[in-house]
Structure 1
Amino acid sequence: MGIRSSSITIVTESLVATRQFYERHFQAQRLFDCGWYVVLRLSGPAAQEISLMRPQQGMEPFRGGAYVNLEVEDVDQLYANLTCAGLEAVNPLDDHPWGDRGFGLEDPSGAIVYCYQRIEPADEFKAYFIKAN
């Protein structure tokens, strides 16, 4: 099949505020913007993308329940930067036994942006990791 990339599209009536959130706090750059559909490239070597779409005729906006997971180099520094910028974590910065240290923020569309850094998992979680082929 050869998948080259994947991304998420969030359908939101808060498109501009959500775009500005990612541009300001995650240095996202617009690759495409026709007003009702925007493609953002997040900073970093992996060049991940997130798309935002204003609801079109008959389309329901996003109602929550999704996490955008961002693995970062220094989660403590990012947490400090974002909370100093006035953002409030909906999931506090903490070490998790499954092998990450992270926190979550809510973007203007209602999606949770979970920022994390890998750490050594607790013994009870080590057996659940599967080696890729």
Structure 2
Amino acid sequence: MSVRRVVPDIQSDALEESREFYGLLGFEQVMDLGWVITLASPTNPTAQLTFMTEDRTAPVTPDMSVEVDDVDAVYEAVLAGGGDIVRPLQNEEWGVRRFFVRDPNGQVVNVLGHLGQGG
């Protein structure tokens, strides 16, 4: 199992303003689902920020996302380790497979893999 990227997830009602502000720092929009946008560095595409009004397919808004190469294996490891699953593993219509787990600090982590890439 390996980590592909880690992205802070920021709950916001100012998506357009966030896009404009972080654009000044060099970020470009790479995803927009209306309720969630992701901005990335064009020279280092794993340097990303996600802003969302809410998570429309989950009971809570996550605090961060961790993309892994095999989300099913990570899910099984977290279950075996007694992790506090906030949202079970499932596929999303935008091409990811993900679950939410609460870390020891109370932060909600969205663990995901892209479908067709070990998920």
Superposed pair shares fold, TM > 0.5: no
Which of structures 1 and 2 has the larger relative contact order (alpha carbons within 8 angstroms, sep 6+)?
2
Larger radius of gyration: 1
TM-score scaled by structure 2?
0.44
Query: Whose strand proportion is higher, 1 or 2?
Result: 2
